Amino acid sequence: MLYNNLSSYLKGTYGQRLKKICIDGHFTCPNRDGRCGKGGCIFCGERGAGEHIEERASIREQVEAGLNSNPDSLFIAYFQNFTNTYADIQTLKSRYDEALFDERIRVLSIGTRPDCINEDIASLIASYKTRCDVWVELGLQTASDTTAELINRGYKSEVFTEAVRILNKYSIPVVSHMMIGLPSEDDGDIHRTVEFLNSHKLFGLKIHSVYVMKGTRLARLYDEGKYVPITFDDYVRLATYVITHVNPDLILHRITGDCPDGMLAAPEWNKDKNAVICAIQAKLKHDGLYQGIYFK
């Protein structure tokens, strides 16, 4: 196998590919409401990474719709929009509970920020392990604190290290996100982010290509000529670098980004996700490479 892709992992673990139900848990984000920042990360849309999810439906309604669309499947309940651990413990519990009413849900996956993880939250999330598997997704994007400031991430990379430490302590699998093509980043930044990720105990990685979504602060920079999106060839080259240098045990949940329909401003190549995946796989095959071949 060229790399540990999520779908093979799911088939091996659950006997089939689980369908993902993307949930808007009606949270907000401390990087938008002023607790740690305003305006959010520069690439983030108004719906906080969940532009495709129907607005205003209750959590139960969203999950029911997902279950009904594939009645014979097993599922991942994925709290995606905004920061899904940004509330008091009782609120968090009631929202996670609301999603977990059906036995076909085998994984509770929670997307959040590292500065919204603490012992109490980790303990609550760990308590669901008696019901199903749990994963926590942390949006690191880059190990560089300089880039983090530029993209208005709102926390330093050491905060990620501390969140992973807490989640490791509660044996909660962590999936990190990283981005290729962030403003001002070069090959060296990608190399250092990989090195940083390799120094943590992680379960999975999502590799995203940076795309410019309409209405974001990145779109404004792009319109003003202050941001130039990464080219297809450079993305394929750098994604191949990441795959070949990360821990061979990591599950790669995705190897490119995927802009919601009708929201893409640039680059054009981002519209064809399959072409990107095929090009990365072809390069790996052609060069005799595979995940972790250069992992130290």
Binding site for ligand SF4 (CB under 6 A): 29, 31-32, 40-41, 44, 48-49, 82-83, 113, 139
The least distance separating ligand SF4 from the CB of residue 215, rounded to whole angstroms, comes to 13
Which residues pair with residue 252 across a beta bridge? 5, 205
Q: Around Cβ 2, how many Cβ atoms within 10 Å?
A: 16
Cβ atoms within 10 Å, residue 295: 14
Smallest distance, ligand SF4 to C-beta of residue 257, A: 12
* CB nearer ligand SF4, residue 40 or residue 181: 40
Residue closer to ligand SF4 by CB (options 210, 251) is 210
Q: Which DSSP string do the residues of the chain spell out, in sequence order? A: --S-BHHHHHHHHHSSPPEEEEE--S---TTTBSSS-BS--TT--TTSS-TTSPSS--HHHHHHHHHHHSTTS-EEEEE-SS-TT-S-HHHHHHHHHHH--STTEEEEEEEE-GGG--HHHHHHHHHGGGTSEEEEEEEEE-S-HHHHHHTT--S-HHHHHHHHHHHHHTT--EEEEEEES-TT--HHHHHHHHHHHHTS--SEEEEEE--EETTSHHHHHHHTT---PPPHHHHHHHHHHHHHHS-TT-EEEESS--PPTT-EEE-GGGG-HHHHHHHHHHHHHHTT--TTTT--
Rounded to 10 deg, the angle between the 59-69 and 89-99 helix axes is 30
Task: For the CB of residue 234, give the shortest distance to ligand SF4 in the complex, in Å.
Answer: 23
Which is nearer to ligand SF4, 27 or 269 (by Cβ)?
27
| CB of 45 vs ligand SF4, minimal distance in Å | 8
For the bound state, the minimum distance from the C-beta of residue 82 to ligand SF4, rounded and expressed in Å, comes to: 4
Nearer to ligand SF4, 82 or 196 (CB): 82
We find the least distance from the C-beta atom of residue 171 to ligand SF4, in angstroms, to be 25
CB of 44 to ligand SF4, least distance (A): 3
